[in-house]
A = this chain, B = another copy of it.
Amino acid sequence: MDRIGVALIGTGFMGKCHAMAYGAVKAVFGDVPHVDRVTLCDMDAAHTKKCADEFGFARHTTDWKSLLTDPAVQLISITSPNGLHREMAVAALEAGKHVWCEKPMALSLADAEAMTAAAAKAKGQATALGYGYLRNPALQHAKQLIRNGAIGEVFDFRGSVDEDYMADPALPWSWRLTAKDAGLGTLGDLTVHLVSLAQELMGNIASLSAMVDVVHGERPLPGQPGKTARVENDDIAHALVRFASGARGVLSSSRIAHGRKNGLKIEVHGSKGILWLDNERMNELNLYIAEGEPAARGFRRILSGPLHPAYGKLCPAPGHGLGFNELKVIELAELLYAIEGKPSQSVDFKRGLEIEKVIHGFARSARDGAWVTIA
């Protein structure tokens, strides 16, 4: 495949991020198709027009359904609010388009299942979900080390994902805090990332015991001084987990953790060593191996470089550092490989559904106050 035409729905944080990835992927990777930025779609026509001009899209529209019938479009990016993912993704798949959809997949498990079913019925289209942190060279290096037995048999996983975007109790109430319009809270926004990393390194989670809480239960209603409204979705979600492999772990997550900006940390314990990384220092992997002169053992800070997966495509100089946006370029390359039928590490809807099952398992366990099995 020499060229692929793409449409992008959404011009916000993730919309711009997809746009930058579309503009960069051919220069970075070389061995992918040329990307034709066909149409940009969002709700405000003037803004969409301006963004299309800046992002390099030939056309713009406010009618996402028009993309379905455009033969110039083979791949559609969905970065709209989560409540729209199901409808858009299913329609795109039914229209024969490849789909790149942001996480979380959908508001409900039923929606995620419907999307996965649509993908299963599709005739060769690829799907991908926006789990860019999985593409971090440091993380993929960790995965290689585990696969190669560098830290022995892995038996314990510690992970946390914390941000502070809702940390101030005085932040106003919005629809994002409702079950109906936003679905899960921290679980959908943050915990999904942690689960994606846990399952990437350890295999699937088989059962869990969780606590899922709203801490700041009322928030001020904007424009109505003195009035508050109820927060319906979770601020905090913690769990003990058992992996299908027999390993175990602890996961914690919070959207109300002051000072944490991209606080996604994972630590894997094995019989020969330990490795850990922290997304706030995403270009570093920390590794301890119980070998060599005992007096000189210690955790090593390994700076990402061209010896680590995909880094070299972006930069030949080690330690110079990749950024968040560049992980999306790698994510896109993996999707393009999938579209071309090449080996790919893209997270498709089927695998995304396995993440959704876990976070909905959190909610179930918390409700029942008991361990639950993940199907």
| Residues in A lying within 8 Å of B, measured CB to CB | 13, 16-17, 19-20, 23-24, 26-28, 30, 50, 54-56, 141, 145, 150-151, 155-156, 158, 160, 164, 167-169, 209-211, 213, 215-216, 236, 238-240, 242, 248-250, 252, 254, 256-263, 269-274, 279-283, 285-290, 292, 294-303, 305, 307-308, 314-326, 369-371
Q: Which of B260, B270, B317 contacts A261 (CB 8 A)?
A: B317
Stoichiometry, copies per complex: 4
Q: What residues on B are CB-neighbors of A24 within 8 Å?
A: 20, 23-24
Cα distance, A282 to B316, chains bound together (Å): 17
Contact A324 B325 (CB under 8 A): no
Contact B294 A307 (CB under 8 A): yes
Closest residue of chain B to A165, judged by CB? B317
Contact A298 B288 (CB under 8 A): no
Q: What residues on B are CB-neighbors of A299 within 8 Å?
A: 259, 300-301
Contact B371 A262 (CB under 8 A): no
Cα distance, A286 to B286, chains bound together (Å): 13
Closest residue of chain B to A241, judged by CB? B211
Q: Which of B158, B213, B272 contacts A258 (CB 8 A)?
A: B272
Contact A257 B269 (CB under 8 A): yes
Contact B27 A262 (CB under 8 A): no
Taking A13-B316, A320-B261 as contacts, is the C-beta distance between A141 and B295 under 8 angstroms? yes
Contact B307 A317 (CB under 8 A): no
Contact A240 B258 (CB under 8 A): no
